[in-house]
Every structure is written in structure tokens, then in C-alpha cells.
Chain A
């Protein structure tokens, strides 16, 4: 297997995806064709045990459970009320509701495994009031698109589960590792809003909300905080595995749904259909990814690439810098989940061979996915916030609005390279 053939196969796969073949099919086709080319029909007989192995993996059961958890909090209106509470608390800062956007995204992220869901949820709640109060559209769209990406960095995170299952790393450790970077990145986003608003000379602020009113809204935060506490607490203290913590979170969410009087058959069925569709899409891609993975490992692609990269004489730092560029470009054109499953089987062995910490690399991959969500032309979060905006305007507003955050993310990645303990310290103390 030489680097030329590997690149050719990779390009062929990308091409199939870009002309509109379903992602899962594109990956499976390359895997099956590659496997048969190398090993003939015995490869076909080996696919079935792999498919059963993936679909029978208790670890991946956490994906539908975490998706269901987010759905329950969203459909029951708990997420909507969260925004009200945070705007009462954060609105006074220079930048006003833009801080609320970031804060609400971070908090919703703590209960949801998906970035797109986070941007869509907070965006639908936030944009009408932002427009009514005359916030600049670019800044509004940018903060929502970027804030939404926190959904996969702040645990729980579907992308971390996928990374963990593809690379045999502990999901619990990955989740815990995401907490400090998640909070720091949230802080960086808010700092940027603060600085850019103060620098503009005419910072936006919301009128002060009476303390009594503020205190009252605190009750709106109970549900998401309790759910997050149960999920992460049970993981951190070793009471539960990732799947068990997801189950505990679902039960807690069901309690809050019942408590808020939304425990109706219609709401539940809406949640079930949504959860099934999203999980089905993710799990079919993962199934295809494992078929591709079988072909990749059998044909020695990872070894060939590792040898090639080693031949370049790159250091670990050099490799990560090169990967930032690689993922930045790839993320412009690809859906991030597909990007992740298509590249990890190759980049993970290369990185670990050069001594990169596996958990750190997981957080790095998640950051690269976040970046991909807000870079044009294919940036899901850009589309989401653009689609929600109440006025008529071009997609370029979302793109320009998100640009500062994309730069912050890259700088933040460099910070994590300089101080890897920001990622590795907390999971080491589990």
C-alpha cells in the first residue's frame, strides 16, 4: 500500500461525498472495494461479524441515550427558559445578550451531545429578541454559531463517544477532559465579546433586572444543572460508565419533563422520532466507518501513512500544526462527523506513534470539528443560524460574524499545545 494509492482512495471517497452520495455509502463503498481488491471474497465474510460487533457495542448505546436526553430538555421547553434566566444575569455586561448567547450555549451544551442542536436551540430562542433590541446581526449570528460549537466540547459529546469507540479510549476520561477546555473556551468567547464591545466605544448593555426577578429566574437553571451534575458526577466519581450516566440523565430529564407538565404522548413521540432519526444517521455512518476501518487496518494504510509521516521527520508539534491546517481545509468542505470518522483511523496511529497523548488528541479532534462547523462554505452552524435569522440577509453575515471565533479557536488550540495539562490534568485525577 503506497501513499499515492491511499490518497487516490481518499480523494475518491471525498469526491463521492461531494457529488451527493450519502456519507455512509461513500465510506462503505471505498472500504468494501479496497478490502475486496486486497483480499477477495473472504473480506466479505469478515464484514458481518464487524457489523454485529459495532451494533452490539454497549458503549455506543450512549449515543441514542444522550440524543434522547437533549431532545427531552428541548421539547419540554426547559432550554427556552434557560435563556430567559441567563439574560437576566449576563445582560448587564458590555455586549449584553451576546454574553447570554454564549452562556446559554455552554449550559445547553452541558446537557446535549450535539453542536448543531445547541446552535439551533439557543438560536431559535435568541434571534428574535436580539433583532428586536437592535443588536448588530453579524455579532449576533457569530456568537450563536460559535457558542453552538461548545455543544461537542462541553460534555456530553457525541463526537467524543465516536472518537472513544474508534480508538479504544475511555469515554468517561474524554468527557472529563472536555470540561476545563470547554469552560476556558466559553471564557475566551465572552472575553472577546467584552473587549470588542468596549473597544467599539459604545458597548451594548441590557437594562438592569431587579434582583428579586433575577433570583426568581434561577429556578429555570435547576433542571439543566441537575442533569449535568448527575451525568458528569456519576462519571467523575466512578459510579457509572458513559452509557449508565446517559441512562441516569435520561431518567432525570424525564422527571423534569413530567414536573413541567409536558409529559404527554405527543411530546414523547416527537422526541422519539427525532432521536431515532438523528441516532440512525449517526449509527449508520459509524457502521460504515468500521467497515472502512477494517479495510484500512488490513491493507496497512495506517502503517504506510505513519511511515511516510515519520519519513518527513516531523516532531509531534510539527504534526499537530500540520493537522490543524489539514482539518481546517477538510472542515471547510466536509460534515464534521464524517470528517472525524473518515480521518481518525489514519491520524490517530500517526499521532500516538509520535507520542501525542490519546485523550489530548481526542480533545484536539473535537476542537477541529468545532472549527469545521463555522468555516465556509460547508459549516453546519453557519447554515443553522443563517436559517433562523428573522431578517433578509446573506450568509456572509454569519460567516464574518463567526470569523473572530474561528481565529480564537485556532489560538486556543495553540494554547492547549503549549499547556497540554489543561486537557490531561482533570482526567488524571479521576
Chain B
């Protein structure tokens, strides 16, 4: 059987069960909150606030344009910047949640040794890609500084502001990816392939569905608690 990373919302919940409300009656013990959870939580908060804030602003803009004939120009420009920054954060979070899709029609059929090599190679290739993008994107920043580029928009935003933050996001993605790649390399070199396969194999549908069912149980528990 073949499995992918998740391709849609709804199926994916915070893997950090410890942070869930109370996962129904299923989970009693709370594992310790790790550094990774803190980083994830912080990044997700920034990400969420960017898009909720954007949604508020765009809604106000759209309504004021329709109802009051007044256009607060620039909401669409801000939308572009929100995506630029938000997507780089999302790259990192998808990496931490092992969501970057891998097909594994053949993966499960391979010998464990080969599997662990493939898992190592997959994370290293992703890290290489992230570093590659950061390196080429530096040229965008350098050019923008050199030309003092200014957006052709009502705000005439100096492009270096949004691009600077975007670039920082790309660098964070590259650092996170390299961290994972180093860890995988260490595991491979020291022969701890079982740990490597556990932490870096393509996310299985089973894992994801367990998360999803836990979330459902929790929703229903809360529902019944609310209406006894």
C-alpha cells in the first residue's frame, strides 16, 4: 500500500497531543512539551495572525468599497506580502509536521536498509532545495537594494521591507531543513536506522487518521460535555 503526506485540511491535527484539550478518554498521560513544540507553536501563531489579520483588513476593504464607495487601496498589495511571508513560515511548519508530500508506492516494499537510505536522501534533497532557494533569493534582495526598488502601488512600498522579511523566512526554512538533514545524517552514520526510519519515513495514512480520530473524539467529548 502506498501513502502520502496529507493533501488537505481536516485530516491534519497538531501532532503534539500534549497540547490538545483532552483527547477524549483516549490520552491520559501528557508527554513533556518539547522545544520543537514551542517553535511550532510560535511559528503557527505568527502564521495564523498574519492571515486572520489579512482577512479582517480585506473584509473591511471589500465592504467599504461596496457600501461606502471608499477604497482603502493596498489590501491586495498587502495580500501578496502576507503570502510571501506566510508561505515561508508554512514551508518550515510543513517540514516539521512531515507534510511535504512523498509518494511511497515502492517505499514499503524496499528492504529496511534501502528505506533508511531513501529517507535520508529525501530530507537531504529537501534541505538542498531550501538552501538553493535561499542562495538564489539573495540576489533578489541585493538587486532590490541596489535599484532602491519601489512597488508600483498606491503605497509605493520600498520593496526591501516585504522582501527582507520574506528572505528571513526562507533562511529559517533552510536552517530548519538543514537541522533535520544533519540529524538524519548523524542517525545514518551511527547506524541507528530504526530511529531514522521512524522519524523520517513518509507520513503514513494511519498516523494521520489516528490524529484525525483523536480530534473527532475530542470534539464529540466537548460537545457532550456542553450538552449533557
B79 and A61 contacting across the interface, CB-CB below 8 Å: yes
Partner of B83, one of A56, A277, A335: A56
Among B1-22, those with CB < 8 Å from A are 1-14, 19-21
- Residues in chain B near residue A52, CB distance under 8 A: 84, 137, 140, 163, 166
Max chain A C-beta neighbours (<10 A), residue from B82, B87, B129, B212: B87
- Residues in chain B near residue A80, CB distance under 8 A: 216, 219-220, 223
Q: Could you tell me the distance in whole angstroms from the C-beta of A348 to the nearest C-beta in chain B?
A: 22
Q: Is B182 an interface residue (CB 8 A)?
A: no
- Residues in chain B near residue A284, CB distance under 8 A: 87, 91, 94, 100
Q: Is B38 an interface residue (CB 8 A)?
A: no
Q: Is A19 an interface residue (CB 8 A)?
A: yes
- Residues in chain A near residue B125, CB distance under 8 A: 21-22, 25, 29
Among B52-73, those with CB < 8 Å from A are 52, 54-59, 61-62, 66
Partner of B10, one of A112, A250, A268, A276: A112
- Residues in chain B near residue A279, CB distance under 8 A: 86-87, 90, 94
Interface residues as binary, B85-125 with A (CB distance below 8 Å gives 1, 0 otherwise) = 01111111111010111111111000000000011011001
Main secondary structure of the interface of B (DSSP, over half): helix
Query: CA–CA, A61 to B50, complex, Å?
Result: 11
Query: CA–CA, A254 to B82, complex, Å?
Result: 19
Interface residues as binary, A286-316 with B (CB distance below 8 Å gives 1, 0 otherwise) = 0110000000000000000000000000000
Q: List 13 A-B contacts (CB under 8 A).
A: A19-B106, A48-B136, A51-B136, A55-B166, A57-B80, A64-B86, A80-B219, A262-B222, A274-B9, A275-B9, A275-B48, A280-B93, A378-B4
Q: Is A228 an interface residue (CB 8 A)?
A: no
Q: Which of A93-101, A118-126, A217-225, A406-414 contacts B (4 or more CB under 8 A)?
A: A118-126
- Residues in chain A near residue B58, CB distance under 8 A: 243-244, 247-248
Query: CA–CA, A383 to B202, complex, Å?
Result: 14
Give the total of B residues in contact with A, Cβ under 8 Å.
Answer: 96
Q: Contacts A48-B136, A56-B81, A277-B99 given: A272-B1 contact, CB under 8 Å? A: no
A274 and B107 contacting across the interface, CB-CB below 8 Å: no
B14 and A58 contacting across the interface, CB-CB below 8 Å: no
Main secondary structure of the interface of A (DSSP, over half): helix
B residues with a Cβ closer than 8 A to A are: 1-14, 19-21, 40-41, 43-45, 47-48, 51-52, 54-59, 61-62, 66, 75-77, 79-84, 86-95, 97, 99-107, 118-119, 121-122, 125-126, 128-129, 132-133, 136-140, 162-163, 166, 202, 205-206, 208-209, 212-213, 215-216, 219-220, 222-223, 226
B59 and A247 contacting across the interface, CB-CB below 8 Å: yes
- Residues in chain B near residue A384, CB distance under 8 A: 11, 205, 209
Give the total of A residues in contact with B, Cβ under 8 Å.
Answer: 97
Other A-B contacts than A57-B80, A77-B219, 7 sampled, CB-CB below 8 A, are A55-B87, A75-B215, A120-B209, A243-B58, A248-B59, A261-B226, A276-B94
Q: Contacts A20-B122, A77-B219 given: A276-B47 contact, CB under 8 Å? A: yes
B76 and A387 contacting across the interface, CB-CB below 8 Å: no
- Residues in chain B near residue A247, CB distance under 8 A: 54-59, 62
A residues with a Cβ closer than 8 A to B are: 17-25, 28-29, 32, 44-45, 47-49, 51-52, 55-58, 60-61, 64-65, 67-68, 70-71, 74-75, 77, 80, 112-118, 120-121, 124-125, 151, 158, 234, 239-241, 243-244, 246-248, 250-251, 254, 261-262, 266, 268-281, 283-285, 287-288, 333-338, 377-378, 380, 383-384, 386-388, 395
Query: CA–CA, A25 to B100, complex, Å?
Result: 10
Chain A to chain B: the 5 pairs with minimum beta-carbon distance, closest first: A114-B8, A280-B90, A272-B48, A280-B94, A117-B10
Query: CA–CA, A395 to B108, complex, Å?
Result: 16
